[in-house]
Amino acid sequence: MAKVKYYYDPDTLSYRKIEARKSETFKKSVLWTLGAMLVAFFGFIGFSQFLMSPKERAQKRELDNYRLHNEIMSKELDELSIRLTELQERDNNIYRTYFEANPIPEEQRKAGFGGVNRYKHLEGFNNSKEIEEVKRKIDIISKQITVQSKSLDEIVKLAKEKDKMLASIPAIQPVKNEDLKRMASGYGMRMHPILKSWRMHNGMDFTAPTGTPIFASGNGKIVKAHRSATFGKVVYIDHGYGYETIYAHMSKIIAKRGQKVKRGDLIGYVGNTGRSAAPHLHYEVHKNGRPVNPIYYYYGDLTPEEFIAMQKASQQKGQSYD
């Protein structure tokens, strides 16, 4: 209730009620209205910085949810990358080793993406960095999965050919034990009997009488069957899977070039042709184009005791027969 104001009238010696002028009342009303409007306007401006419309709140909630999902996805991709790395290590160190396949190089598995910026279309957004990082992880993992998938396809193929591979790898002595006089010279540095100098002896020499049968040590294909100045009458067998065997100084060749042979098939006879000091078989095993010690490729013939005895004999330094 508004206060009523009075004034003292000396003429009537009494108090009279002060009557407000209409102009003043209107002026006050206008000032109050303008004041209220200004307060409301600046209040709206101030509070609008903190208060959001329902649409803005929904958009913010959606953005927060997206960022949360993006963070969760990024962590899941990191975990997936760890699992994929473990699979790659098993693939190289177990699966591919078991099937004698070359490991896949690290640079091939984790090759980057060169050239133009493949994520340029993701720029210009508030969360472009997060989106680009997730997309990059997805691309890297996708490529690694593709490489690993091809590797597993190769492993499956090798597994199906495992029996064929085992039958092809050299696994027996090319001359039967009962036909041997002795293992005359092993793999390593030896004195050449004719040139009289120390040279690398890339195979093993087995002494046996001329005419002793020589057998293929694994399934394969005859790629050479001829006479050379050094090896005399010699046969080369390509066994596949990176393996090749050489049978030198034969007296007679039975196998023909291009012929397919199986382990144990007769291919020729022991002799003394070429650069040879006495009747014997010079036998070599090559893996991926390089000579290896043949002593590790008799597991189909030798008992553990026989292997140890042959190993000791092969390590003795001395003169080779060729």
pLDDT, tens digit, 9 for 90 and up, residues 296-305: 888 877 777 7
Indicate whether 117 pLDDT > 70.
no
Least confident of 3-12, 61-70, 206-215, 252-261: 3-12
Residue 183 pLDDT grade (very low, low, confident, very high; cuts 50, 70, 90): low
* SS3 assignment, position 293: coil
Residue 270 pLDDT grade (very low, low, confident, very high; cuts 50, 70, 90): very high
Residue in the structure block whose two tokens are 């002795």: 182
Each residue's pLDDT tens digit, 56-67: 677 667 777 767
Report the distance separating Cα 142 and Cα 180, nearest Å: 58
Q: Measured at the alpha carbon of residue 207, what is the angle toward residues 182 and 215, in degrees to the nearest 5?
A: 105
Report the distance separating Cα 170 and Cα 15, nearest Å: 136
Per-residue pLDDT at 127: 64
Least confident of 21-30, 33-42, 126-135, 206-215: 21-30
**Backbone angles phi and psi of 233, in degrees to 5:** -75, 120
Indicate whether 259 pLDDT > 90.
yes
Indicate whether 237 pLDDT > 70.
yes
* Closest by Cα among 190, 197, 92 to 148: 92
pTM flag (> 0.75): no
Inter-residue long-range contacts of 122-129, CB under 8 Å, 24+ positions, other chains counted: 126/63, 127/63, 127/66, 127/67, 127/70
Count CB-CB contacts under 10 A for residue 142.
Answer: 9
For residue 273, CA distances in Å to 122, 229, 248, 278 come to 75, 9, 8, 9
Q: Is the dihedral of CA 301, 304, 307, 313 positive or negative?
A: negative
Q: What percent of the chain has pLDDT over 90?
A: 25
The residue-averaged pLDDT of 9-30 equals: 65
Whether the Cβ atoms of residue 92 and residue 144 lie closer than 8 Å to each other? no
The residue-averaged pLDDT of 49-58 equals: 65
Q: At 322, list the tokens.
A: 């060729």
Report the distance separating Cα 21 and Cα 278, nearest Å: 147
Indicate whether 166 pLDDT > 80.
yes
Indicate whether 3 pLDDT > 60.
yes
